[in-house]
Amino acid sequence: MVLPLFFVLERVRDHLIQTGAKSIEEISKAKKKLDGDKHLSKEDFTQFVSVLKLPVNQEEISELVKTYESCCKKHIRFLDFLWGLREKLNDFRETLVRKAFKKLDQHRDGHVTLDRLREVYNAKCHPAVMLERCDVHKVTEAFLAASFGNLDRTTVHDVLEYYALISSTITSDDRFEVVIMKHWKVAPDNIEVDDVINKVKLVVYKERIRSREFMRDFDPLRGRLITEDQFASALDNSAVELSPRQVRALCDNYRVPEDPQNRVCWTAFCDEIDTVFTFKELEKTPWREPPPVPDLRGLAPERFEHGIVDLGPEREAKATAIVERVRAQCLQRRISTRGIFDDFASNRNSSKAVGHVTKQQFLQALASKVGIRLTADDADLLALKFDDLGNGMVNYVAFSVEVDPFIPHNPPPPHPVFPPALINAPHY
């Protein structure tokens, strides 16, 4: 009995998805055998069917050959055959997949290794890991076994082929977006979920917020899952201010797609946030100690070393040149600016902000005490560079670290060279 072509292709597609990495490997090999017209010989096509053990009988193979054979009836239109299996990715999905590969291909070599895939794959947010049914290593290896595990080097075409294959089983673009987010933390608008998590960690660490207490009230049965609205309400109640887009990015990252209500695993989120205070299950690793200060972007002392604000390549180069010029003058005059700014910050007319002065105080200190006068444009750029809080105040601690001549990471002052007569002179 020969089934209609639609059902044959559907059965072949399901088999390819189940076969996983072997399917991607054989499709990649078959594509390399295509001639100039993107056709595959009938012998190679028969070998492709045989190696993958496609669930088709001889009559169905003949029907496939008859449907996709070329005009000369000597070759198979292999790309048309693949498009019949899984159709082409639409523009939105293809763009998203290409962004994911761009994140993987950090050296722009056109290919990535298995080690790189293991490094970037977001296994911690896999539903089985979040619900503590499996560990990260097993989930990562299972993903590679279902995708690129048989390839020494994975190209963008292999990644597109894999997601085109599973895309046919994903009904909406929104769900496909969640899949890419959970695999590679890539979003269509380039929002970085790691930056959002870092922002939440900063607030939680500085304010000593117990985020778990705000989440668990929405989960009385302790099923680990709450809705997106409940998740957003818990964040709002804990005084963590995020935009709606940032909240949705967090939800997509910790979502459980298999859940009928598409809920979010709040326990996995809290486990990650609580790493600023301690690590989970320390009783299993008694020699492991959490660091006294968590490694967070924007947290002292890192913010005092870098000034936080990134102005972009062009303005960053100008700001660096201004800082170098000020540093050279401070070195020449042997001036340390930190104490000068401390005096201005403790003035009774000051705002008393810790480590910060107003722009006017900043410029006045440079001009009157250091003897450095800046143009209006240079002053605006420098104030913007060290405005780490975004409120118009200048982080003078970060500025001092950059320009003071006796800071350890700054170049040391040149050693004075004395004439021999002075060196050999008697000392009294």
Considering the chain, what percentage of its residues have pLDDT values greater than 70?
A: 92
Q: 334 in helix, strand or coil?
A: coil
Instruction: Please work out, in degrees rounded to the nearest 5, the angle formed at the alpha carbon of residue 410 by the alpha carbons of 406 and 412.
Output: 60
291 vs 240 pLDDT, higher one: 240
pLDDT for 254 beyond 50? yes
Lowest mean pLDDT among 39-53, 110-124, 250-264: 39-53
Q: Given this model, what pLDDT does residue 156 score? A: 93
Banded pLDDT at 1 (limits 50, 70, 90): low
CA distance 164 to 223: 34
The pLDDT, as a whole number, for residue 2 is: 62
pLDDT for position 144: 93
At residue 287, the pLDDT reads: 85
For residues 386 and 398, is the Cβ–Cβ distance under 8 A? yes
178, two tokens? 């969640």
CA distance 383 to 393: 8
Distance CA 322, CA 331 (A): 14
Instruction: Give the model's pLDDT for residue 93.
Output: 95
> How many angstroms separate the CA atoms of 26 and 8, rounded?
19
Q: Which of the listed ranges 156-160, 313-317, 377-381 does the model predict with the highest average pLDDT? A: 156-160
Question: In DSSP terms, which residues pair with 111 in a beta bridge?
Answer: 155
Q: Which residues pair with 40 in a beta bridge?
A: 76
Print burial letters for 162-174: b (CB count within 10 Å at least 16), e (below 16): bbbbbbeebeeee
Q: How far apart are CA 183 and CA 181, in angstroms?
A: 5
Least confident of 7-21, 101-115, 226-240: 7-21
Distance CA 215, CA 229 (A): 12
Average pLDDT over residues 78-89: 84
- Does position 87 have pLDDT exceeding 60, yes or no? yes
pLDDT of residue 104: 94
For the chain, domains (ranges, CATH) are 5-86 (1.10.238), 91-184 (1.10.238.10), 193-284 (1.10.238.10), 302-403 (1.10.238)
CB atoms within 10 A of CB 25: 19
The reported pLDDT for the residue numbered 427 is 46
What is the mean pLDDT of the segment spanning 113-120? 94
Residue 421 has pLDDT above 60, yes or no: no
Q: What is the DSSP letter of 4?
A: -
Q: Give pLDDT tens digits for 13-69.
A: 888 888 888 888 888 888 888 887 788 888 888 888 888 888 888 888 888 888 888
Q: The pTM is what? A: 0.67
Mind listing the pLDDT tens digit for each residue in 189-207?
999 999 999 999 999 998 8
Express each pLDDT in 288-336 by its tens digit. Answer: 888 888 888 777 554 444 455 777 778 888 888 888 888 888 888 888 8
- 3-class DSSP state of 323: helix
Q: Look at residue 253 and tell me whether its pLDDT is greater than 50.
A: yes
- The whole-angstrom separation of Cα 231 and Cα 266 is 7
Residues 6+ apart with CB under 8 A from 254: 125, 130, 264, 265, 266, 268, 269
Tell me the average pLDDT across 102-116. Answer: 93
**Nearest CA among 81, 408, 136, 94 for reference residue 272:** 136
In the predicted model, what is the mean pLDDT of the chain? 85
